[in-house]
A and B are shown apart, each in its own frame.
Chain A
Amino acid sequence: MAAGPPYVELHAHSAFSFLDGASTPAELASAAAKLGYPAFALTDHDGVWGSMELVDACRGLGVKAITGTELTLRIGPAGGAVGGTAPEDALATGGGGGSPAATGPAGEYAHLTLLVQDAIGYRNLCRLLTAAHSHTRDSSQRSAGQPSVTLEQVEEHADGLVCLSGCAGQGMLTAAWERGDAAAGAEAARRLLGAFGRDRFRIELQRPYWRRDRSRNRWLAGLAERLGIPAVATGNVHSHGGKWRTRLQNAFVAVRLGMTLEESEALRRGNSSSALDSPQEMADRFAEHPDAVAETLRLAERLEFDLNRELGYRYPREGEPGVDRKLAELCRALLAERYAGSVHRRKAETDLEDELKTIRALGLSGFFLLHHDLLVLAREVADEVRGRDSARSILPPGRGRGSSVSSIVCYLTGLSHIDPVANDLNSSRFLNEEVGKQAGTMPDIDLDFPRDIREVLIPRVHERYGADHSALVAAFPTYRPRGAVRDLGKALGLPQEEIEKVAKMVGFHERGGEIEKDVLAAIGPERAATKRWRVLLRLCPEAMGLPRHASQHSGGMVISTRPLIDVCPVVPAAMAGRQIVQWDKDSCNDAGFLKIDLLGLGMLSAVERCVEEVGETRRESLDLSRIPFDDAETFRSIRAAETTGVFQIERRAQMSMLPRTRPENLDDLTVQVALVRPGPIQGGAVHPYIERLKRRREDPEGFEIPYEHPLLKDVLEYTLGTIVFQEQVIEVATALAGFSAAQADSLRRAMSRKRSAEAIQGHHDRFIAGALERGVPVATAERVWEQIRGFSGFGFPKAHSAAFGLLAYQSAWLRVHRPQEFLCALLNEQPMGFYPPDALVHEAQRREVRLAGPDANRSRVLCHVEWIEAELTVRIGLGYVKGVRKEEMEGLVAERERSGDYAGIADLASRCGAGRDGLERLAWAGALDALVKSVRFEDLPALPERADTQNASLASEAPVRTRSAGPSLGGRREALWEAGGAGTGVRHGEDVQMALPLEPPRAPELEPLDEWERAIADYRSIGMTLDEHPMALMRADLDAAILRSTELEEAENGGIVEVAGMVVARQRPETANGIVFMLLEDERGTVNLVVPPPVYERCRAAVRAASLVQARGKLERHEGTTNVVVSEVIELERPQSPIRRDEKMPMKRGIGQTPPKSPRRRVRERAMAELRAVAPAGHSFGRRR
C-alpha cells in the first residue's frame, strides 16, 4: 500500500510577514503541491494578510489551506516569568554556529504559533490580531510599532485555536531555555496547556540546523512527555525554495533591521534550512522525533476551518425587511422627478423595472440602499466642507466611475451623474442575475470625491457605522526596481552614492536585464562587475512583486453588520482616524465583502477649486452640468491637442492621438478616453480604429465597417469593429462563442485580476469551440481571441469612460474659458496629472496667462487669482516656497489680513513670528523683494485692491511687484541681508516668542541677482520659474542649428533636425516594444522625441536621467503630430560639448577648436550644473521623479 506523505507543514511565512518571508502565498502553495503536501499552513507574523490568497491559490491544487499566524507576545522585562528575546523572529539564528537569539533588546517579546480549528477559533484569531495591532500607531508620528498581545489576552481567546509553543529562536519556551531558565519555559508551557487544553496545545520542535538543535529538541520533547501532550515538528519556512530566494530572505532580514548583511550576521538564520523541503526530507530532518512528525498529519486532519465558507459576513441593510419595496419606491419617485417631460421616460421606466427585478433576484436591494445612505452622508459632509454659500455648493458631493455609471438605479439614487438611458449604457456588466448568483460577488460601485470631502467622509463613515464595523481595504506596495536597488543595495553595503545613481536611472517596470544595463550605464563596467553588484542584480528580480509593507487602499472601504473584527483583523492605518482590514481588494472580493470605493480624484478637486476661484474673482456662479457641451473652441483646442492640464487627455500618448481621432462631441471623448489604454493597445484596436475613423470622415456614405465576423456587428458598431471597452469583451465572447453571462464574466474577472494570467488562457478552448459551433472559421476565432487576450492588459468600461470623458470635457472647457482660475486650481492640487507645476506654468504663459511670484504682502498660502493692471493674474502662494512651515505662512497671512500690510522685513518678522529659516526661504523665493528698505514699502504706490469684474478696468495703473507681470523692485540679496539682520521669532514647542521690531541696518548696494541666478533661486525655492525659460537663457550659447520647438513646424518633413530642452516626461510603455518617448520643453513650447531601442541603449544615461538634453534626429510630421525620431541624445552640459566626438557636427557656437574657458563661461557652466541639480521633477518612467 502506498504510504501518504509523512509530514505536513504547519509553520510557514510568506512575504506577508513583511521582510521576513521571501515568497508569495501562491508560490508557496504551488511548491507545496509539487512536493506532494496534502495541506499547508500559513502563519505570517501577527497577521492573516496573505491567508485568502493562500486559499485562492490552493484551490484546484489539491492542497488544504490552513489559516494561522505567528503571534507576538509581550512578556515583560528580561528575567520575567517567561523570558523572550527580540521582536524579530529572524533574531533566531545560528550564524557561525552560535546560539540563537544571542543579541537584541532582550526579554520583551516571544512567539506563539496559532492555527485555526473552527469558526470560533477564527473569530478569536481576528480579535487577537486586532488587539495586537491596536497600539501600533500610538507614537506621535504614527510610525508602525511592534504588534503584540499579552499572555492573558491569548488565554481569553483560546477557544477554537490550536497553539504550538513557538519557534526555535523566540518561542515562548525556547527563549527561556536559551536563557538558561528552563523552569520558566516549563511554567509557560503549563500555563498554555491550561488555556488550550491537551487537545489544542502542542510543543513545537524545529530543526533549523543551529548548534543547539538537538539538545533543545530533546528538552522540548521531554517537556511534552512530562505534560502528557504530543510534540509536533514544524519547518518555520520562509521561502518556497531556490538558492537566490533563500538568500533574498537573508537580505530582507538585514533590510528590516536597517543593517548590512555583515552587521546582521548574528541576527540572521545563517543557512538555507528555512526553504520549503519535501515531506520526506522534513521527516528525515526529524528522524529522532518520528512522533512529532506524525503529529503534523493528525493536526492537519483536525484543522477543518475553511476561510472561504465560514466567515459569516453581512453588510448593513442586507436582508432588512421591506428593502425591495423601499428601494423601488425611492427609485420610482426619483424617476418621476428626473425624467419629467423627457423623451427617455418610457425607456427609463422599463430599464428601471428590469434592474429592480435583477436586484431583487440577487438580494441586493439593501446594497443599493446602503449606498444611497452613504451618499446622503457624503452630501452632509460636502455641505460642511464646502460651506453652504460656496460656489461649489451646487455641485454633487461626488460622482460615480466604473461600470456602476451604466445603472439607472445608481443614476437615480445619485451614485452616478451620467444618464444611462440618454447615453445608451448597458448595465449588464454591472448587474447580472446569472453572474451574481454563481459568483456570489458584489457589484462594484466606485465613487470619486474631491480630496477635501473624501478626507472628512472616510472618518465620518467610521463614526456612522462604528469603528468595529468599518475599515479601509489594505494595499500592499510591492518591490519595484528602484526600491529593490535602494533596499538591497544598502543591505549589501554598496556605496550610497552608487546606489542613488542607479536608483535614479532604473524604471518603474523594469526587469532584471534592464536593471543590469542601468547599473552599467550608471557606474561603469568595472564597478558593475564587482561581486556585490553582481549579487544585487541576482537579488533584484527575486524581490520584484513581493509586498514590502501594508498600506491603505486609495479608498476601498468595507462595512459589516457583524463586527468586522470577527471576520478579518482590523489595524490602525498610518493616517490618523483611519483603520484597515488585513486584506487587499482581491481578498475582500474573494471573501464576499461589500467594498465601496470612496476615491479621491485630483481633477475633481481641481475643478471644484476652479469653480470656487471663478466665484471669487468674477462673481460668477458656474454650474458645470450646464455649460455648453458642444463648445466649438473647446473641441478645437482638444483636436489641436492643446490639452495640457486637461483630465485624461493631457498625456503625451493622448495628445499625439487627438489630431488623428479629431473628437467632435462627448461620445467621441468617451471613446478617446478608453482608447489609449493598455487593453485596446495590446488588443490591436487603436490603429484600426483611427484608420476607420479617417476613412469614414473621408467617405461617410460609402464607408463600411470591416467586422471580423457579421456576428460582431451589434456589439462593435459603436467602436467601428474594434474592442475598446471592457464590456465589449463579454459581448464579443457571448456573440461569437456563445459564452453564458457567467462564463463571460468569469473571463472578464480573470482579465482584471493581477494574479491570473493562466486563468485567461483557460477560456481559450471554450471560446474557439463555441465559435466553431456558430460557424465561425477557426482562423477568425483565433484572431478575435487574440484581440480579447491582448485586451487583458487593462481597459475601461464604457460607462466609466463616459464619466471620465465628461470630466475631460469640463476641464478642457475651464482651461479654454477660465484659464487663470484653472491653472490656479491645478497648482493648488499638486501633485496631480502628468505635468509638474513648472511645465503647467510655462504652457499657460505661452497662452498669455499672467502669473505673479510669491509676495509676502499679496500672496495667500495657496495660489490665488487677483486683478493686476486690469488683468486676472495667478499669484503663487507662500505655500509653494519649499521648506517653510505651513503654520508660519498661515500666521503670516492671518496677521496681514488682521492688521494690514507689512511695512518691511523687520515689521514682518516682529508681527508674524516667522523664524530666520522661514524668512530666508521667503527672501530666496523673492517673496520679500517688495519689503526691502532700499525700496521702502511706503514709497511704493498703493497696490491695487482685489477687484471684481465691474471695476476691473479701474483696478490699478500701479507698478507691479511681480516678475512676470512687471519690473522687479528691490532685490533678493537685499532681502536676504535684511532678513539676516532682523530679529526673528523663536519657537518654543507650539508657541513662538515674537521678535522686537528692530530695524536692521540698511543693506549696502548689492548687485542684483542676474537672470541665471534668479532662475536657479526660483527652481530651488518654488520649483518653477516665472521669468525667462532656462532654454531662453541658454540659447545664446547654443549652436544656431538647434531649432526651437516652434521652428520645427517650418522644418522639412523627413529632414534631420537638432533640438534641445528640459525633460518634462520620459516614458517607456510596455506596449511600445522598447521605444522611449521623451517630451522636451524649450522657451517656445514642447518637442516630442521618439527614442528607438538601439539609440536608447547607446544613450541610456542621458535618456534616463538627464534633466536637460540635446538631440538630433529625423523630423516626422504625420496627421498633425510632430515627432523627432532621434539618432543621438546627450546631456546638455558644457556649452562646447559636441554631440559625438567622432562626428563633425558642431552643436554649439565655437566648435572646432575648444576655446579657452572664459570667466563668463565658467560662471555659466557652474550655473548649468546648479540648474541641473534643481530642475523640476518631470514624469519619469511611470512616476514623478
Chain B
Amino acid sequence: MTPGLRRLYVPRSAKVDANRAGEPTSVDGVAVEAVREQWVVEDRWWTPQPLGRRYFELALADGRNLVVFRSTLSGCWYQQRG
C-alpha cells in the first residue's frame, strides 16, 4: 500500500432519509435518534477518482451506532464501518 494512504474500508449502499439540512433522519427504515458527529472529507481531487463525502456518526433508535456518508459527487448514501 502506498505510504500515507489510509485504508477506508469498503462502503455499502444504504437507504437514508434526510432532512432539509441534509442530516439523516432514518437509515434502512430505522429512525435516527441523534447525530453524534458530522465531518467532511474532500480529497483525491488530483486523481481521476476524487473523493467528496459528508459523514455522520449516528445513534439509531434500535440502539446501534452507525457511520453513514453521502457522496457529494454522486448524491448516493453509503454505510461504513465506524
Binds A, one of B1-9, B25-33, B58-66: B1-9
**A262 touching B5 in the complex, CB below 8 Å, given contacts A211-B57, A270-B43, A492-B46:** yes
Q: State whether A265 touches B4 (Cβ < 8 A).
A: yes
Please, which residues of chain B bring their CB within 8 A of the CB of A297?
none
Cβ of A1052 within 8 Å of any chain B Cβ, yes or no, is no
B9 closest partner in A (C-beta): A96
Asked if A247 lies at the interface with its beta carbon under 8 angstroms from chain B, I say: yes
Interfacial residues of chain A within 258-289, with CB under 8 A of chain B in the complex: 259-266, 268, 270-273
Query: Is the CB–CB distance between A531 and B48 below 8 Å?
Result: yes
Rounded to whole Å, the gap between the CB of A542 and the closest CB of chain B is 13
Task: Identify A535's interface contact among B3, B6, B46, B67, CB under 8 A.
Answer: B46
Query: Given known contacts A96-B8, A263-B2, A265-B6, is B55 in contact with A211 (CB within 8 Å)?
Result: yes
Contact of A271 among B5, B36, B42 (CB under 8 A): B42
Chain B residue, CB-CB nearest to A261: B46
Give the distance in Å from the alpha carbon of A145 to the alpha carbon of B62 in the complex: 54
A265 to B5, CA, bound (A): 6
**A27 in the interface (beta carbon within 8 A):** no
- A997 at interface (Cβ–Cβ under 8 A)? no
Most buried by A among B4, B38, B67: B4
- Binary contact track B38-49/A, C-beta < 8 Å → 1, others 0: 111111011110
Asked if B39 and A211 sit within 8 Å, CB to CB, the answer is: yes
Cα–Cα distance between A251 and B8 once the two chains are bound (Å): 21
Q: Is the CB of B43 within 8 A of A95?
A: yes
Contact status B47-A531, CB under 8 Å: yes
Known contacts A97-B55, A271-B42, A532-B46; is-contact A212 B37 (Cβ 8 Å): yes
The contact of B4 among A94, A251, A264, A531, by CB within 8 Å, is A264
Measured CB to CB, the closest approach of chain B to A90, in angstroms, equals 13
A532 touches B47 (CB 8 A): yes
Chain B residue contacts of A212, Cβ below 8 A: 37
Given contact pairs A531-B48, A532-B46, A209 touches B4 in the complex (Cβ within 8 A): no
B45 to chain A, nearest CB (A): 6
A213 within 8 A of B: yes
> How long is the Cα–Cα vector from A532 to B48 in the complex, in angstroms?
9
Give CA–CA (A259, B82) in the complex, Å. Answer: 28
Interface residues on A, range: 20 to 34
Q: Least Cβ distance of B79 to chain A in Å?
A: 14
Q: Which residues of chain A come closer than 8 Å to B37, judged between CB atoms?
A: 211-215
**Cβ of A132 to closest chain B Cβ, rounded Å:** 29
Tell me how far the C-beta of B10 lies from the nearest C-beta in chain A, rounded to whole angstroms: 14
Q: Which of B36, B45, B48 has the most CB of A within 10 A?
A: B45
Chain B's closest residue to A536 (CB) is: B46
Contacts of B47 in A (CB 8 A): 531-532
Q: Is B4's CB under 8 angstroms from A96's CB? A: no
Residues A72-95 near B (CB distance < 8 A)? 94-95
Please tell me if the beta carbons of B2 and A271 are within 8 angstroms of each other in the complex.
no
Cβ of A98 < 8 Å from any Cβ of B?
yes
CA distance A1185 to B47 in the complex (A): 32
Q: Give min CB distance, B71 to chain A, whole Å.
A: 14
Query: A240–B45 Cα gap in the complex (Å)?
Result: 19
When chains A and B are docked, how far (Å) is the Cα of A211 from the Cα of B40?
Answer: 8
Of chain B, the residue at the smallest CB distance from A272 is B42
* Residues of A contacting B40 in the complex (Cβ-Cβ under 8 angstroms): 209, 270-273
Shortest distance from the beta carbon of B40 to any chain A beta carbon, whole Å: 4
Partner of A531, one of B41, B42, B46: B46
Which chain A residues numbered 214 to 228 have a C-beta less than 8 Å away from chain B?
Answer: 214-215
The number of chain B residues with a CB under 8 A from chain A is 21
A210 CB–B CB distance under 8 Å: yes
Residues of A within 8 A of B36 (CB): 214
CB distance from A410 to the nearest CB of B (A): 55
> When the two chains form their complex, are residues A270 and B41 in contact, meaning their CB atoms are under 8 A apart?
yes
Query: Least Cβ distance of B24 to chain A in Å?
Result: 15
Tell me whether B3 and A98 are in contact (CB under 8 A).
no
**Residues from chain B with Cβ under 8 Å of A251 in the complex:** 46
CB-CB < 8 A to A265: which residues of B?
4-6, 43
Min CB distance, B27 to chain A, in Å? 17
Chain B residues contacting A263 (CB-CB under 8 Å) are 2-4
Closest residue on chain B to residue A214 by CB atoms? B37
Chain A residue with the shortest CB-CB distance to B47: A531
- Contact (Cβ within 8 A) B4 A262: yes
- For B57, the chain A residues whose CB sits under 8 A away are 211
Contacting B43 at CB < 8 Å: which of A96, A210, A259?
Answer: A96
Give Cα A236 to B55, complex, Å: 21
Cβ of A291 to closest chain B Cβ, rounded Å? 21
| Residue numbers in B under 8 Å from A97 (CB-CB) | 39, 41, 55, 67
- Encoded as 1 (CB less than 8 Å from any B CB) or 0, chain A from 487 to 511 comes to 0000010000000000000000000
Least CB distance, B33 to chain A, in whole angstroms: 15
Q: Which residue of A has the minimal Cβ distance to B45?
A: A247
In the complex, A272→B5 CA distance in Å?
19
User: In angstroms, how far is the closest chain A Cβ from the Cβ of B57?
Assistant: 7
Q: How many angstroms between the C-alpha atoms of A786 and B2 in the bound complex?
A: 58
For A259, A260, A261, A271, the residue with the greatest tally of chain B CB atoms inside 10 Å of its CB is A271
Assuming A211-B37, A215-B37, A531-B47, is B4 touching A98 (CB within 8 A)? Answer: no
Bound CA–CA A213/B36 (angstroms): 10
Residue in chain A with minimal CB distance to B52? A271
Q: What is the CA–CA distance of A961 and B55 in the complex, to the nearest angstrom?
A: 79
Contact B45 A535 (CB under 8 A): yes
Partner among A261, A264, A271 whose Cβ is within 8 Å of the Cβ of B41:
A271
**B62 CB, nearest partner CB in chain A, Å:** 22
A212 to B8: give the CA distance in the assembly, Å: 17
Cβ–Cβ contact A98 & B45, under 8 A: no
Contact of A259 among B4, B8, B42, B55 (CB under 8 A): B4
Q: Bound state CA distance, A128 and B37, in angstroms?
A: 38
Q: Which residues of A contact B48 (CB under 8 A)?
A: 531
Interface residues of B in 6-29 (CB under 8 A from A): 6, 8
Which one of B37, B38, B40, B46 has the highest number of Cβ atoms from chain A below 10 Å of its Cβ? Answer: B46
| CB-defined contacts of A215 to chain B, threshold 8 Å | 37
A95 to B40, CA, bound (A): 8
Cα distance, A492 to B48, chains bound together (Å): 13
What is the chain B residue whose CB lies nearest that of A212? B37
Q: Which of A192-250 contact B (CB under 8 A)?
A: 209-215, 247
The answer to whether A213 touches B2 (Cβ under 8 A) is: no
A213 near B39 with CB under 8 A, answer yes
Whole-angstrom distance between the Cβ of B7 and the nearest chain A Cβ: 9
Report the separation of the CA atoms of residues A251 and B43 in the bound assembly, to the nearest whole angstrom. Answer: 11
Closest to A246 in B: B42
Residues of B within 8 A of A260 (CB): 4
Cα of A212 to Cα of B48 in the assembled complex, Å = 29
A214–B58 Cα gap in the complex (Å)? 13
In the complex, the chain B residue whose C-beta lies closest to that of A491 is B46
Name B6's contact: one of A98, A259, A272, A273 (CB within 8 Å). Answer: A98
Residues of chain A contacted by B6 (CB below 8 angstroms) = 95-96, 98, 265-266
Bound Cα distance from A251 to B45, whole angstroms: 11
Residues of the B chain whose Cβ atoms lie less than 8 Å from the Cβ of A211? 37, 39, 55, 57
For the complex, give the distance between the alpha carbons of A247 and B52 in Å.
13
> Cβ of A266 and Cβ of B4 under 8 Å apart?
yes
Taking the closest CB of chain B, its distance from the CB of A174, in whole angstroms, is 15
Distance from A45 Cβ to chain B, minimum over Cβ atoms (Å)? 23
Query: Please, which residues of chain A bring their CB within 8 A of the CB of B45?
Result: 247, 535
Leading 7 A-B pairs by shortest Cβ distance: A263-B4, A209-B40, A271-B40, A535-B46, A271-B42, A211-B39, A96-B6
Contacts from A to B (Cβ < 8 Å): 94-98, 209-215, 247, 251, 259-266, 268, 270-273, 492, 531-532, 535
Q: Report which B residues bind A (CB closer than 8 A).
A: 2-6, 8, 36-43, 45-48, 55, 57, 67
Mind listing 13 A-B residue pairs with CB under 8 Å? A94-B39, A96-B8, A97-B55, A97-B67, A98-B6, A209-B39, A214-B38, A247-B46, A262-B4, A262-B5, A265-B5, A272-B42, A535-B45
Q: Other than A94-B39, A211-B37, A271-B39, give 18 A-B pairs with Cβ distance below 8 A.
A: A96-B8, A97-B55, A209-B38, A211-B55, A213-B38, A214-B37, A247-B45, A251-B46, A261-B46, A265-B4, A268-B43, A270-B40, A270-B42, A271-B42, A272-B40, A492-B46, A531-B47, A532-B46
